[in-house]
Amino acid sequence: MVSTELVDSTIQYKKKYHKIADFSLTDQNGKTVNQETYKDKIYVADFFFTTCQTICPIMTNHMVEIQKKILNDDEVMLLSHTVTPEIDNVTQLKKYATQKGIDDTKWHLVTGDKKQIYELARKSYLAVKDQGNGDAYDMIHTENFMLIDKKRQIRGFYDGTNPEDIDRLLNDISILKKEK
């Protein structure tokens, strides 16, 4: 169940069929990634940055584990948004993807307009509570993994640093796959 305290106050009282907004970002190969890329897919989304030394490496390792489990599953994909697009350009993302063994057919690391990314984080993925202050140091740093269904609706939040939550997430993916 989605906790209302996680929800951005401007959409808190909208109908429960909240959908992820349309987006257009650039992946580690310089290709455009948008909602069409994830059409009719179940996917796990998160927010990270390549230079993060605290929670991001743990989260990325957990995403790598998820990638291994879904590698041959055409219904499931991964999507990681950088929160420092000014540092994480395509070259930086490609280097990171190569280091981490990211399969670009399953998992897009995306960069782009910071305002769009932060708006997605706050208003679409409900990843963070704070509105932010919009200054140079305004940064989203969340351990949340969001599970998105084929209708672009959030079906769960998971602590991307917690192995038990990763097991729960994988289990929830298999439940979602059974839905019609």
Position 142 scores a pLDDT of 82
How confident is the model over 113-134, as a mean pLDDT? 79
pLDDT in tens, 32-64: 999 999 999 999 999 999 998 888 899 999 999
The domain spanning residue 141 has which CATH number?
A: 3.40.30.10
Q: Is the model's pLDDT at 4 over the cut of 90?
A: no
In the chain, the amino acid numbered 93 is L
N- to C-terminal Cα distance for the chain?
Answer: 20
The whole-number pLDDT of residue 130 equals: 60
Q: Give the number of C-alpha atoms closer than 13 A to the C-alpha of residue 67, restricted to the C-beta side.
A: 21
Sheet with 32-34: list strands edge to edge: 32-34, 24-27, 107-111, 76-82, 42-48, 144-148, 154-159
Distance CA 174, CA 56 (A): 25
Is 50 exceeded by the pLDDT of residue 176? yes
Residue 67 belongs to what domain range?
A: 4-178
pLDDT, one tens digit per residue, over 77-120 is 999 999 999 999 999 999 999 999 999 999 999 999 999 998 89
pLDDT on residue 128: 72
Q: What pLDDT is stored for residue 3 in this prediction?
A: 43
pLDDT at residue 14, as a whole number: 47
Give me 63's structure tokens.
Answer: 């995403």
Question: What is the CA 114 to chain-centroid distance, rounded?
Answer: 15
* Helices and strands in the chain: count of H runs, count of E runs: 4, 7
| pTM flag (> 0.75) | yes
Total domains present in the chain: 1
Sign of CA dihedral 178, 166, 122, 102: negative
On the question of pLDDT at 75 being above 80, the answer is yes
**What mean pLDDT, rounded, does the chain reach?**
86
pLDDT recorded at residue 35: 95
- The pLDDT confidence band at residue 11, using thresholds 50, 70 and 90, is very low
